[in-house]
């Protein structure tokens, strides 16, 4: 019996010819990452480990300050300061204001993630790197401390499920719509501790930005990781970023899956996830013109350049509704600069949007767009739990950059074709 991509990656990282679901292993990591919020907790635990005078490999531990940066208050400034001092003392790579971005956009573009890697991140959306054929998985801060010291994580080999997507998506249907529809079918725990393997003609036809979006939200179905087999587009992206391409795994034809799901996206409409779960996704028409107060486009789920291009195509020559605040958040400094050079930033500002430095801020209700009581937002982020972006009596609707931009113009939730 053959192995899946997930099983092949894990086997290679624990020096076993074969691993099977349910098996417990110690696996070497290619990269350990943390933000300032998870990193400060990891540092506390790391310093309790006897003999941990330094990290296992300073080239394989990365801190990205992206949640409350630029610092919103004294407390956040002190947290970042602690992480900055630890990084400088241990010699690990860290990304600070002006040189940073949102970790799940930044690290792939920096060439720090490659196909076949095992990435352990103290952030639940580390599964984003599955878009490159890497096994990215979120871990707790205590586990991150151990990984920083030992270069290993202990985990159970997950079952794999195969998701096959047929057809060709319509003009305004992309990765966000596909993954929201998938989660609505599986549920937020439908892939609990499993590896989601996204395959099929519709997936191979997607660009890298859409693939990153799909892999990013695998955890919203409860998955341990989400993987897309590397192809020519993957290799081109990684080589352009300066990364390795010598471990491009494919699942064997006789690999065993816990389940196989089939989707036809040919007639899929743009999707919107209503409060208060990502699984509560419906066609945009079901929103029936729900009035909104704020739109946020970007962040780790949809903060790549192609995402901003999509939003700009809709916003160009139009104005945001006078009742709506529209916030654009590029995923990295590089994305920001390229958007500026292409004239996208000018389009956003002329449409009366505000363009923010790269930050996770509004996604977790931290800063740069916190919601008040009773307010509604359309966001291209990945979670819409109660109080996720601010007041517990506010509401968040998850959507693609296309739907978010159209809704910003209309002042209510609509699809681009409704403008």
At residue 346, does pLDDT exceed 80? yes
For the chain, what is the mean pLDDT? 95
The Cα 283–Cα 132 span in angstroms is 29
Q: What is the CATH number of domain 5-262?
A: 3.30.499.10
Question: CB count, 10 Å around CB of 316?
Answer: 15
The mean pLDDT value for 174-191 works out to: 96
pLDDT score at 366: 82
At residue 51, does pLDDT exceed 90? no
At residue 102, does pLDDT exceed 80? yes
Let me know if the fold of 5-262 is the same as that of 273-418: yes
Distance of CA 246 to the CA centre of its chain: 24
The mean pLDDT value for 72-89 works out to: 93
Task: Name the residue ranges covered by the structural domains of the chain.
Answer: 5-262, 273-418
pLDDT-derived band at 389 (thresholds 50, 70, 90) equals confident
The Cα 364–Cα 370 span in angstroms is 9
Is the N-terminal amide bond of 131 cis, ω within 30° of 0? no
The mean pLDDT value for 303-328 works out to: 97
At residue 223, does pLDDT exceed 80? yes
The Cα 144–Cα 302 span in angstroms is 26
Phi first, then psi: give them for residue 110, nearest 5 degrees.
Answer: -85, 0
The mean pLDDT value for 392-408 works out to: 97
If you search the block for the tokens 């930044």, which residue do you land on? Answer: 106
CATH class of segment(s) 273-418: alpha beta
pTM, to two decimals: 0.94
Residue 63 carries which DSSP code? E
Strand, helix or coil for residue 264: strand
Helix residue ranges per DSSP H, 191-331: 201-204, 208-216, 232-241, 299-302, 305-315
Cα distances (Å, whole numbers) of residue 135 to 7, 32, 123, 244, 252:
10, 12, 14, 15, 17
Q: In what helix (H) or strand (E) does residue 196 lie, and over which residues does it extend?
A: strand 194-199
Distance of CA 397 to the CA centre of its chain: 17
| C-alpha closest to that of 347 among 415, 290, 398, 408 | 408
């Amino acid at each position: 019996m053959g192995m899946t991509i997930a099983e092949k990656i894990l086997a290679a990282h624990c020096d076993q010819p074969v691993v099977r679901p349910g098996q417990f292993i110690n696996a070497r990591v290619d990269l350990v990452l943390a933000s300032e919020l998870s990193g400060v907790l990891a540092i506390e635990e790391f310093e309790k480990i006897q003999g941990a005078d330094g990290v296992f490999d300073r080239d394989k531990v990365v801190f990205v300050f992206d949640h409350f940066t630029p610092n919103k208050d004294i407390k956040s400034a002190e947290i970042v300061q602690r992480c900055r001092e630890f990084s400088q003392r241990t010699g690990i790579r860290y990304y600070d204001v002006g040189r940073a971005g949102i970790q799940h956009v930044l690290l792939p573009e920096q060439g720090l993630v490659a196909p076949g890697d095992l990435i352990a991140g103290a952030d639940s959306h580390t599964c984003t790197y599955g878009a490159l054929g890497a096994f990215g998985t979120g871990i707790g801060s205590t586990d991150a401390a151990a990984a920083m010291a030992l270069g290993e994580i202990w985990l159970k080999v997950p079952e794999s499920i195969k998701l096959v997507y047929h057809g060709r998506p319509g003009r305004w249907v992309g990765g966000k719509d596909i993954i929201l529809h998938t989660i609505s079918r599986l549920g937020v725990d439908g892939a609990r501790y499993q590896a989601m393997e996204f395959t099929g003609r519709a997936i191979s036809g997607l660009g890298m930005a859409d693939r990153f979006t799909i892999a990013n939200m695998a955890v919203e179905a409860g998955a341990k990781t989400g993987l897309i087999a590397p192809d020519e587009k993957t290799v081109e992206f990684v080589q352009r970023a300066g990364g390795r391409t010598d471990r491009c795994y494919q699942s064997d034809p006789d690999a065993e899956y816990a389940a196989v799901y089939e989707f036809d996206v040919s007639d899929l409409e743009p999707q919107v996830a209503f409060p208060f779960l990502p699984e509560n996704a419906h066609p945009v028409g079901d929103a029936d013109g729900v009035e909104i107060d704020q739109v946020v486009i970007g962040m780790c789920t949809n903060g790549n350049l192609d995402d901003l291009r999509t939003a700009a195509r809709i916003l160009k020559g139009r104005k945001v509704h006078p009742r709506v605040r529209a916030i654009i958040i590029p995923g990295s400094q590089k994305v920001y600069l390229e958007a500026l050079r292409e004239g996208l930033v000018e389009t956003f500002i002329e449409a009366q949007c505000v363009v923010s430095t790269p930050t996770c801020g509004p996604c977790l209700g931290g800063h740069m767009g916190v919601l008040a009581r009773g307010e509604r937002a359309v966001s291209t982020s990945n979670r819409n739990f109660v109080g996720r972006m601010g007041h517990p009596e506010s509401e968040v609707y998850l959507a693609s950059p296309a739907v978010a931009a159209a809704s910003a113009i209309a002042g209510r939730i609509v699809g681009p074709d409704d403008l």
